[in-house]
Structures are given as C-alpha cells and as structure tokens.
Structure 1
C-alpha cells in the first residue's frame, strides 16, 4: 500500500483553519512575550525562563496529518507556561480592541475578544496527570498543556510532573509515532525520539524508551499500544511484545490502572477498524486473564482461552462483506452498534461456562460470571451487563429452539418476547458459545442458526418483542397505577398469544373490538380517548371485565390466601350466621403470609384499580373474590396499609348495589373496621399517620352509610328508610367526627382533617343538622375565636367553611344561635386583623364575610330580628368590624 505523500516526504501541510490558527497563536505569543504578566508565575529553571515562548502541535494530530487524515482536535504544548496560564493570557490578548476582528473571532453575543476556557484538573485515575485547558477557536478543539517530564514510583502509575524539554516530553509518551511535534514557530516537524517518522513509514509500534520500564511506569500503555496496533494495522515490535508478557507488567496493569480506564481502552479497540485484531493481540500476549480479570478475592476458576480464537475469527468472517449472504450478519449484526455489542459478547465467551458468582447480598440471585467480570473488572455500562445476564439466563432455551425445528408462530413469538429486545444478540451469544465448545463444527453451527433465523424471518417475528398487544404493558400499567412486573405477564400473554395466532389482525382497533363491547373502554385502553371518567353504572367492556376477573382469581387470590381468612365471612363473601367469632391476632412472618405488603406490593395498586373499575354486574359476579383481599387490607395493623384498604373499600362500596350489601350482611363488618380506623389518633398514632387514615376512613364511612342506608326521595315517601339513613349519619357524625375531635387536643392538623370531612356529612344530613347545633356551634365558634387560630390559617379556614355549611343546612334554627356564631366570627376577624396580611389570611377574611352574609340572610328573614341594629352595636364596640359587615355576601 503506497504511503501518503505527507508521510513519504515527512512534511506537514496545514489547511486554511490550521494556517489561521498558527498565525493567531504566533501573534498572541509575541504579545505575551512583550507584555509579561504581573501576576506570580511558577518558578522555572533560569535557562527555561530566559528562553523564548514556543508552541508546538503534538501527538495524535501530528501522526494523523502525516497519514493524510484531517483532525479538528489539536494538543498544543507550551514550553514555559501551564496551559491555564497561557489560556488566560490568550484571552487577555483577544480582549485588546482590534485583535479579535483581525483574526475573525466574534462570540455569539458580538462581544469581541472573549472565548470560553474550560480548565480540566489533574485526574490521574483517568489518565490526566496534569491540568489542561480546552478551548474552541476557529472550529478547532484545542487542548493547552505545558511540556513536561515525569518521575514514577513503584506503587503508582501517577507520576510527579515537572516542566520539561521537548525531548523529555517526547520520551515520556507511549509510542514513537505519537511523540512527534510540529513546531509552529519554525514550521518544522520535530522527531526527538529519532524513530517516530521511520516507524510510521514502516508500520511498526515501539516505545520511545525501553519497553519494560515504559510499561512498568504506566501499564496503561500496554492497552494503548494494542489499540494503536489494531487501529493502524501496525505491528508491535517483538521487544515490546515480550515486555507485555512479563508477569510483573500484568500485575502492574491490575493494580495501577483503574477499571474505568481499562473499559475506555477496550471500548476504543472494539469500536476501531479491527476489533478482531485487538482481541487476537490480547489473546496472543496472554493478557485475557489480566484484562477480563476474575474479581473474586480468591479466584478458583480460570477461563479457558484455547478455543477463543475460533470465536473472534468466526465473528470476523460473519461480519466480512465478502462472505456469502448470511442471516446472522444481516439480522443480528446490521448496525455498527450491534457489531460493537457483538464483539463485546465475543470477548466474554471464555467466562460463559464459569459457575455463577456469589450473590452480592444474601438472598439475591447470583449473577453470571460474564456479568460479574464486565461489571466489576471492566466497569462496563448497564447496557452490556444487562445483556450478558440475559444471554446466560436464556442460553439453553435459545439453543433448544434453534435445533427443535419449531414451526409454531405462537411459541416462537412468545419466546422472543420473553427474551426481550436483545434477543438477537442473545442468539449470537448462543451461536458463539456453541463454536467455543465445538470449534470444528463452526460452519455447521452458523448454518443451523441461519435456518433458525430464516424461520423467524419467514413468520415475520424478527420484531416480535416490539409487537403491541391488545393492551400494551404501558397501557395496562398506567390503567391500574402499578409498576410493570411479573403480574403483567399472564394478562398480556393471553392477549399477545391470540395476536400471534392471528397475524392477519394488524389494526389495534379491530383487535380491541374482538374482546370489548364498550367503545368508551376500548378507546381508553387503546389511548384514543382522553376521557377517563367512566361511570360506575356503565357496563364495562369485555376486556376490562376479563382483566378484573383474571386479576382477582389468578393474580390476587394466591397472594392473599397465604394468611388466614376472616372467620366472620364465608367463601362466597357473606356474613356467617350465628354468634360473632372472635378474631385472633395472627403471628408469623408477614413477608410470607402477606407478600402483598412487601415484595408484591404492586398488588395493592392492582386491587385499587380493580375496585375503581367495577360496575354493579362485576361486583355481583366477583363478590366472593373481592371481599377477602379487601378485608385483609382494611384490617391490617399497618396504618398506611389500613388507610389504603379504607380507600379501596370506598371504591367497592361506590359500585356495590344496596341489595347486595344487605343480602350479604357485611355492612356491620365493614363499619366495625372503618370505625376502628377513626380511633388511630395521637398520641398512640403519629399525627402524620393519623391524618392519612382519617382521610381514607371518613369518606369510606360516608359511602358505606349511603350504600347500606340509601336515602329515600323524601321523608314522607319512606319514613323507615329516612330514619335508618338519619341514624346511620348521626352515628357517623358522633363517632367519627365529634368524638375524635375531643381527643385531638393540641393537634391542630387532626382537628383540621376532621373538620374537612364534616361538610359532606352535614350535606347528607341536611335539615337534620339542627339536632347538632348545640354541639357544632360551640365547637366551630371555639375554632374561630381561638387566639392562635390566625397562627394556623388552614384550621381557621376550614372552621369558617364548616360553620357556613352548618348555617346552610340548619338555617331554620340559626337565628337562635346567631349570637354565638357572631361571637366566633368577630373574634376570628379581629385575630386575623392583628396577625397582618397574607394570602391565606385574605382568603379567611373573604370567607368570614361570606359567613356573616349567610347569617344575615337567614336572620333578616325572621320576624322580630333586628340584624342591622345588632351589627351596628358590634361595630360601635370595635370599629374594626365595619369591614367585616360591609357588602354582606349572599
């Protein structure tokens, strides 16, 4: 192959941007020399301090230019300044008016002469021994650094750095072909090692100094030389190869070089033009156990690389374009990214037969050794480690299917879906593993896997892992509000298997029509509708109904059957007739008896979705499967779990027909559990937990009351039902609101929570609220008059709104209580005024005005009431009340 003209001549020709850059740098250097900095600079040897400022393009840019390859990345070495010092002076030069314009530098804000310096601190672990500065000028990425020499120790590859001469800087580099400079002052190529240009012409790689010392000082150079060898198809000189094989060098490579840096070099090798050459070199030099090291404290398994060459040689043949048209390449290794992962897979094959590594933590599934080596010894990214885990997990199954002559579209498709998005690379792993075990049969093995892929291709299953089922995982997970997991598989498999058996159905809407008789549900599941508010009374589609049945009977039932069932209910979900059966506390490992609280916690999300999606027909049909899990959750001792149970029970009751609840006799059982939940109060229960359970139990109790005792159209239409409804709501108000409020004490958040749930109960009671004025008016008046009320606006606000609700529902008797109501209102108003201004306080003032307006409206309609006179008297006592009564709100 003829040498590039630049290499043959040993000269470098600059392009336009590089020419402009050289002029710019020389002008800047001249300015810096003639205008020394007043700031303190590092002490330099006198000879270096007296020498002129010199700049050189170094390393890879020089090598690539000689090879005729353009590069936008230029390392610039400075002889007597650090890169950061030079960068600052360079910036200073361009801030001088006219300099930026002369060199065509204008930043995006039209502020001439400035550019961004990025200082990269020394980081030896990432092979950055000295700080550098990066800057972009004229479209070129520049790294500024001083010439240096290095002094190494036995313990570390991190050298002591000092200013050095060009010769010292060249000799410290990894290879002679990377050690040449282009002196921009003289426009000359400088080859201080005396071998750089010659070695580049001959296509050989050698170290500037004696190889053993070079590698002992910095073992990373071993990997860099292998990478350059494969990149340029150059030969590493024998003496360097011999030094690489020395055990001390291998040991130094393990000890001195970070795993992250090894991965970076391996990644560059495999992404280079000849990954097979790089792996062959590693194999030939015996470096496999060093690079792909066993991370175990006491390694017991040694990877066998005897047949490894057959693996990477086969990879090269498969990828080679001059090979026959094989599906393994066309299907598995089409893209550069696929080939990159393929080579990484090939590099891990010698570890594929190793026993699994010990679990990282007790109880965890042990990782395959391929994954462990990649994860620990290479610090490889998750993409590779996850792939390697899947490769090992599915290895036997893939091999079995590849030889079984499977014709079932359903079986092949479901297998591919199980293997996941990386199934093609997993298949490559299986192929390479077979070649590793039987290298003499490599041709037959490749042909067999070609047939396997051909069958998959013929059945149009290459992308089976991406096929969207009738309800995709995302749709289903979003619908039930739970994370994707094993609970989804059986549900999605039913849908997906049907699709695979019926490949002619390609329209999702057509598929949904096969299983759903409700357009609204179908559109919701298929994502075609944004209206997610489906009425409880509306009949659910077949798909929704089927999913509910599947979840209740197949998924949730096994999880909730580990613990003892409630002794007061039958298997059909009915109350047992006879004397109440005492419930005994259950002891044991809850992770076993109640997995839905721990590992299978998604079950609560699923149960919540089921109850949220119920209609009357489904409730009737699935009642026996609904009650056991719901009671298990609502009776749990964990406050947060119990609160979740209350919410789920509320959803069930919303969809439950009143006759069903009456027929099963479970209303008292539900009521008992819910009322117990309202007793979870401080100080036995933390305030935060008490609020959570009250917020769930109180709405559930109200729903239970409305379902168990549905109100008649009017009192006269059904006196008995009206009485029962009123009695139920009375019990709810007294036991769930008034009694807990007495125990709230100084816990204002508990008081606020209880009052938040008061208005809905009063609205259900309606006119019957008058029976509780003697309880409610003093209670709420006390909230309004509390001098600390304005210090906690939320409680004061909910107190005002609750008093409004009392007035609206008990208006016939409000006149009798007007004085106490006004006392509370006026007291609250004055406390708010004294507190000052604020968004919450302004809202409270507005609601107080609404409240006095409501009271005034009621009182003015009563005979013998002098509302205006009473208001005037109040204002006369304290003029600050005038604003309260201005423009009473109706």
Structure 2
C-alpha cells in the first residue's frame, strides 16, 4: 500500500519549499543586497529537510509495523529525490546540516532503480535542458551528430536564453543520477544523461565546465567503453575536455583545470588499450598540447592556474611513462623554476613541483644526467632559502623533506652526482648541506655506484 494520504499530503507540501531560488545561480549570490534573505532561505531549507527526514522515517516505521509497503508512487518518489538531491553536493545554497539531511533521505530510496532514474531524468531534468539542445548531440539517442544541428550558427543560438541556469541545483541532481547508474543500465539511460552533461561541459562559463568535467569523471566509473565508442560521445568528450584547458585567465580556471585534466586522463585510459599508439598519442596531446602548450604557455604569470596544472601532473606522467622524455626540455625548467629565488615564494607550489619533478626523475632516469645540473641548482637554492627563512612551520618542513627526496631520486638515476656534485657541495658548505646530503653520500650503495 502507498503512504497514507494525510502523511503523503504533508510530505508533498514540504517539497515546494525546497525549490532553490534562481538567485543562487549568480557567482556573487551572497555578496549582493539579498544576502540576508538568502541566508534565511538556507536556514528554512535545512529545517524543511529535517522535517522531511523525520516524516519519512516515521511513515516508514509505522507502515512497516502495519505490514504495509512504505513506498510512495514512482512519480512522487522522483519528485522527492529531484528536490532533495540538489542538496547532495556543492552549492552556495547547501549547508552541512542540509546536506546531511539530504543524504539520509536519499538513502531511503533504491538509487539504482532504472525506472526511478528514468522518471527523474525524463520529468525533472530533460524538460529544463530541452530549450537549449546541444548542437552536436542527438537528443533522442544520445549519439554524436556528424554536423551541427541548425547549421554553422547553431553554437551561437545554443548560448542564448539559457533557462537551465535558473535551476542552480541541476548539476547536483544529474551527478546523483550518474553516480547511481549501474554498468548494465547505461544503455537504457544514455540518451537522458548525455545532453545535460554535454551542455554543462561545453558551456562558456568555467564554473559550469568544471561541473561537466566532474560529471565525466563520475560517469567513467561505470559507463561501458563500448557505449562511448559506438555513440561517438567518447571523441566528443575528448574534444570538449581539451577545449576546457584553454579557458584560462578566469577566476574559476584553477578549479576547471583540476577537474579537466583528471577527466581527460581517465577518458583516455578507459577508451584505449595499454601500450597502443592511440593511447600514447592521446596522452602526448594532453601533456604536450593541453598542459605545456596551453596552460604553461599562456598562463605563465597566473600562479593559481600553474599550480593547478602541476598538482594534476603526476598521474599524467605515470600514464605516459618513459614517453615523458620527449618533453624534458619543458618539464624540467618549469618544475625547477618555483625553487629559484626569482620565482614567487609559494610553498604549496614548490611542494607540488617537487613531487612532479620526482616523477620525472623516476620515469626518465636514463636521460636525467643531461639535467642533473639544473635540478641540483634549483634544489640547492631552495634548501638555502628555506634555512635562511628560519621558519619551522609545517609547510617549510614538508618542503625540506621533499628536497631530500629529490636528491635521493637523482642519486639513484645518476649515481655520479654522489661522488661529484653532492661531494662538492658538502666540501664547500658542509654545515649548510649536511642535512640535505650527508645521509645520501654516506650510504654504502651510493658509494659503490659512484666509484
């Protein structure tokens, strides 16, 4: 039996209170004159979610004790989830309390139910995005179109009157659906997921592109490789993610970079075979054209964007392996630069660069002898600067630890540095470099390798 009518009516009366005001879709939603009203709405929304959680809990307990089926009809379940899932994620309208209540409520539903997911996507997501169809996606099948629907100016029309942006909770709802789709269910729901995902990913605002890249990452956890290839959406995603790395010099660019690089990497690993030329070419395009050729070339003065790219770099290097040697002329100078006195002093950037540099040394050990002088210069100057700062804060100590690791890795890749460069530094300034190098020089295996 369904939920009793009086409880069902009370539950449904709570749902309109959870409709998120379109004001929250503005980047500075809480910086304008309406801040007090928005804060009050957030407080009320948290109270309503808690009431909804208690009502569902009480109703479930009462109906189970009575031997009845506690579930609402499917369309009502979808209506509840569509409202509540908007609070399961990030957003200026979300508070810790409202998110906790939302998660508890959503646990009471069979999130992997194809009928429920189809009802949510077809009735609460698709109608909102229909006014702005993606020009390269067939809305009926979720397949890539050979040419833009609507002709050459379709993309321009696509960006006009984006009514979906007045529904700020939509990305969280789409995310909830994607995270709960099982591998075997993608075929049934594909045409309902791809249009909103591609609309977000190809939007002109970096914040929405970031949401789209995060959805791609979530999708790749369960979507079959065959579906991506057969529908052509895999290649469309690759192009969109590549374009995302050119959205630079914007406030949201660092967050977009942190999402787009892992998504692009995961897409390549998911859709290509290990050791194939196709995988190698795509990884080279990501590193050479995306990171080095776009971010590093055009954002050389944008420290947050540079750091974001360096933070995301190690997994890309690991995937490319020894193939990184073709990029040493770009990688080593860029990763050593933050260690030099002429660079902006930013401990987190230095630490991220050292970790990426460690990957380069490990993967490109046969060629590192050509770059050992540049690496030792940067490490030595950064070490001296950290000592001169006289600071013992956590970041400085972590930096010094990473500098020691780099020296160890370089000694393993180029054993001659122990007897030559390291020994020379200790001879010249033993007290300064003792902690950095003494343990390495004194190791028996290092002595044996260098002799």
Q: TM-score, normalised to structure 1's length?
A: 0.38
For 2:310 and 2:285, locate their aligned partners in 1 and report how far apart those are by CA, in whole Å.
16
**Pair 1:871 & 2:422 matched:** yes
- Cα drift, residue 848 of structure 1: 0.4
Q: Secondary structure at the match of 2:135?
A: coil
Alignment of 1:465-504 (within 5 A): 466-468=58-60, 469-470=70-71, 480=85, 482=87
- Cα drift, residue 741 of structure 1: 1.1
Distance 1:610 1:796, change over 3 A: same
Contact 2:324 2:360 in 1 (8 A): yes
**Pair 1:836 & 2:418 matched:** no
For 1:409 and 1:693, locate their aligned partners in 2 and report how far apart those are by CA, in whole Å.
44
Name the count of aligned residue pairs: 370
> Which residue does the alignment assign to 2:51?
none
1:697-726 Cα shifts (integer Å, max 9, x gaps): 1111112211222x32xx4xxxxxx21111
For 1:464 and 1:656, locate their aligned partners in 2 and report how far apart those are by CA, in whole Å.
32
Alignment of 1:367-382 (within 5 A): none
1:819-847 Cα shifts (integer Å, max 9, x gaps): 22212211221222222213211110010
For 1:779 and 1:589, locate their aligned partners in 2 and report how far apart those are by CA, in whole Å.
40
Contact 1:800 1:848 in 2 (8 A): yes
Among 642, 654, 672, the residue aligned to 2:239: 672
For 1:542 and 1:409, locate their aligned partners in 2 and report how far apart those are by CA, in whole Å.
19
Among 561, 570, 579, the residue aligned to 2:130: 561
Structure 2: 5+ residue stretches without partners: 16-54, 61-69, 90-103, 447-451
Contact 1:691 1:750 in 2 (8 A): yes
Distance 1:465 1:878, change over 3 A: closer
For 1:464 and 1:642, locate their aligned partners in 2 and report how far apart those are by CA, in whole Å.
36
**Pair 1:620 & 2:214 matched:** no
Contact 1:647 1:696 in 2 (8 A): yes
Distance 1:570 1:526, change over 3 A: closer
> Which residue does the alignment assign to 2:258?
695
Distance 1:823 1:465, change over 3 A: closer
- Cα drift, residue 852 of structure 1: 0.5
Distance 1:832 1:548, change over 3 A: same
- Cα drift, residue 849 of structure 1: 0.1
Contact 2:135 2:158 in 1 (8 A): no
Contact 2:179 2:219 in 1 (8 A): yes
**Pair 1:886 & 2:442 matched:** no
Q: Secondary structure at the match of 2:424?
A: helix
1:104-153 Cα shifts (integer Å, max 9, x gaps): xxxxxxxxxxxxxxxxxxxxxxxxxxxxxxxxxxxxxxxxxxxxxxxxxx
1:289-341 Cα shifts (integer Å, max 9, x gaps): xxxxxxxxxxxxxxxxxxxxxxxxxxxxxxxxxxxxxxxxxxxxxxxxxxxxx
Among 576, 586, 590, the residue aligned to 2:157: 586
Alignment of 1:229-244 (within 5 A): none
For 1:550 and 1:568, locate their aligned partners in 2 and report how far apart those are by CA, in whole Å.
21
More helix by share: 2
For 2:217 and 2:159, locate their aligned partners in 1 and report how far apart those are by CA, in whole Å.
29
**Pair 1:823 & 2:394 matched:** no
Among 349, 358, 363, the residue aligned to 1:809: 363
Decide which structure has the larger Cα Rg and report it. 1
Distance 1:809 1:470, change over 3 A: farther
Distance 1:856 1:483, change over 3 A: closer
Relative contact order, CA 8 A, sep 6+: which one is greater?
2
> Which residue does the alignment assign to 1:342?
none
Contact 2:159 2:203 in 1 (8 A): no
Alignment of 1:27-38 (within 5 A): none
For 1:630 and 1:587, locate their aligned partners in 2 and report how far apart those are by CA, in whole Å.
14
Alignment of 1:407-426 (within 5 A): 411=5, 414-418=8-12
> Which residue does the alignment assign to 1:797?
351
For 1:876 and 1:655, locate their aligned partners in 2 and report how far apart those are by CA, in whole Å.
57
For 2:13 and 2:257, locate their aligned partners in 1 and report how far apart those are by CA, in whole Å.
46
More strand by share: 1
- Cα drift, residue 657 of structure 1: 1.5
Distance 1:623 1:786, change over 3 A: farther
Q: TM-score, normalised to structure 2's length?
A: 0.73
Contact 2:217 2:266 in 1 (8 A): yes
